[in-house]
Amino acid sequence: MVPYVLTMVLLAIGVYAIACKRNLVKVIIGVMVAEYAVNLFLILMGYRFGGRAPIRTAAMDRAAGAADAAKAFAAGSVDPLPQALILTSIVIGLGLVALLAAMAIRLHEKYGTFDVAEMKKLQG
């Protein structure tokens, strides 16, 4: 329950920055905060207090006995899948932020400002 609420608050901060800030750079920071809220949520979902790093070794298998090796490993370690997911998600986020920054720079060249309110060639 707590991770739900806290990451939602973080997400809300990101959405607030996107919706209410006039400076393009602050909008980009808002997007990053929102992205990291979901990354944090994913990693918290997979975390287990006192869990082991999800690396299976031969020594662990010997200790647990041949039959239950996989079960014992799954019970004792942190869920590795969300970690793989957020690696992908972080890379996608990097691409997005790079594209956003590139566009903000081009917009600055055209308008000479980062202020959204002064960019209004599109209306209607």
Where on the chain is the footprint of other proteins (CB under 8 A)?
A: 4, 11, 14-15, 18, 24, 27, 31, 34-35, 37-38, 41-42, 45, 81-82, 85, 88-89, 92, 95-96, 99-100, 103-104, 106-107, 110-111, 119, 121-122, 124
In the complex, the smallest distance separating the C-beta of residue 111 from other proteins, rounded to whole angstroms, is 7
Structure tokens at 80: 């590795």
- Please identify, using beta-carbon distances, which residue of 64 and 104 lies nearer to other proteins: 104
Q: Is 97 helix (H, G, I), strand (E, B) or coil?
A: helix
Burial label for 91, CB within 10 Å (0-12, 13-18, 19+), is: exposed
Angle at which helices 24-46 and 2-20 cross, to 10°: 170
Structure tokens at 48: 């287990």
In the complex, the smallest distance separating the C-beta of residue 59 from other proteins, rounded to whole angstroms, is 23
In the complex, the smallest distance separating the C-beta of residue 27 from other proteins, rounded to whole angstroms, is 6
- Please identify, using beta-carbon distances, which residue of 40 and 72 lies nearer to other proteins: 40
Phi-psi category of residue 115: left, alpha or beta, with phi > 0 → left and psi -120 to 50 → alpha: beta
- Please identify, using beta-carbon distances, which residue of 4 and 52 lies nearer to other proteins: 4
